[in-house]
């Protein structure tokens, strides 16, 4: 396929590189000018999109997505697919889908899970909203960039799935870190706690696959000084999106709201910015109940 790729940062660059390795022709644009090997540089987002069968975007937020879509959609050929892999608010995803449909295009919102490591390894999970035919058309690209793509429903459904998933992730990581800090003060060995919890009713992805305690369980950012696999400020962004969505549909999410507030403090008032979201563990280690 001819692919336009807009947003070649930490996630977009390896995703685009994997498409090139698989034999697709990729034209790319990023405001920083960085360009993975094999990607043909374009001098604008519109130029990257012109003539493409599929245009993929990986952008920081909904406002930037809307601005890029306004530039790119008029340049795309009718029948092409606009596929946004950013994590943004549901309203922005649906607004861009409406704009694309009005221009004779198809649109998918396809946020990802798996982080920078998953982008490099081609093991991302895509949560996808949009028409069946557009999903089927882009599925071969999802299969190159990831290990799984789930069609969640109509426009905005992919973003809804990502927001709900990461609200669970944020809350479970906090309580996992709390539990390790409590275990320390109770004199419980961390490795033995892991052996119990990871095989009993407290198991979770935060514990079993991404353990926040260094030297315990599989390798994770905790074993690398909490250098981010998934930065705390990105978790804060996703938790804020969850609360924005909850407010828009009058959903009661008290634990999600508390998780958002705890990550806000961690990022904005403490030392969480630039650290992995699992660095909540050293935060709790140094705190008392008050």
The answer to whether 21 is a known catalytic residue is no
Spatial contact of 129 and 155, defined as CB atoms under 8 Å apart: yes
The single residue of 21, 148, 162, 237 carrying the catalytic annotation is: 162
Task: In whole angstroms, give the CA distance from residue 24 to residue 62.
Answer: 28
Spatial contact of 94 and 156, defined as CB atoms under 8 Å apart: yes
SS (H, E, C) 6-71: ECCCCCHHHHHHHHHHCCCEEEEECCCCCCCCCCEECCCHHHHHCCCCEEEECCCCHHHHHHHHHH
Q: How many CA atoms lie within 13 A of 248 on its CB side?
A: 11
- Identify the burial level of 185 via C-beta atoms within 10 angstroms of its C-beta, where 0-12 means exposed, 13-18 middle and 19 or more buried: exposed
Which strand (E) or helix (H) includes residue 87?
A: none
- Determine phi and psi for 23, rounding to 5 degrees: 100, 5
Indicate which residues carry an active-site annotation.
162
């Amino acid at each position: 396929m001819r692919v336009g790729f807009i947003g070649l940062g930490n996630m977009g660059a390896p995703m685009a590189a994997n498409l090139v390795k698989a034999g697709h022709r990729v034209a790319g644009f990023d405001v920083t000018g960085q360009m993975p090997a094999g990607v043909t540089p374009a001098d604008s987002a519109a130029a990257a999109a012109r003539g493409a069968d599929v245009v993929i975007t990986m952008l920081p937020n909904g406002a930037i997505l809307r601005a890029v879509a306004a530039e790119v959609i008029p340049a795309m050929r009718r029948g092409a697919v606009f596929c946004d892999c950013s994590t943004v608010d549901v309203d922005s995803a649906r607004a861009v889908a409406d704009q694309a449909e009005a221009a004779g295009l198809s649109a998918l919102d396809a946020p990802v899970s798996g982080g920078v490591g998953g982008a490099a390894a081609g093991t991302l999970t895509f949560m996808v909203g949009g028409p069946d035919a557009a999903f089927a058309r882009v599925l071969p690209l999802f299969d190159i960039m990831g290990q799984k793509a789930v069609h969640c429903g109509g426009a905005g459904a992919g973003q809804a799935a990502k927001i709900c998933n990461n609200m669970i992730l944020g809350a479970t990581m906090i309580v996992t870190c709390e539990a390790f800090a409590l275990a320390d003060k109770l004199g419980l060995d961390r490795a033995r706690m892991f052996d119990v919890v990871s095989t009993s009713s407290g198991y979770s992805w935060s514990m079993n696959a991404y353990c926040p305690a260094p030297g315990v369980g599989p390798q994770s950012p905790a074993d690398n000084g909490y250098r981010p696999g998934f930065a705390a400020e990105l978790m804060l962004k996703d938790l804020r999106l969850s609360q924005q969505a909850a407010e828009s549909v009058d959903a009661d999410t008290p634990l999600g709201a508390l998780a958002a507030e705890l990550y806000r403090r961690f990022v904005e008032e403490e030392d969480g910015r630039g650290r992995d979201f699992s660095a909540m563990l050293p935060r709790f280690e140094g705190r008392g109940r008050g």
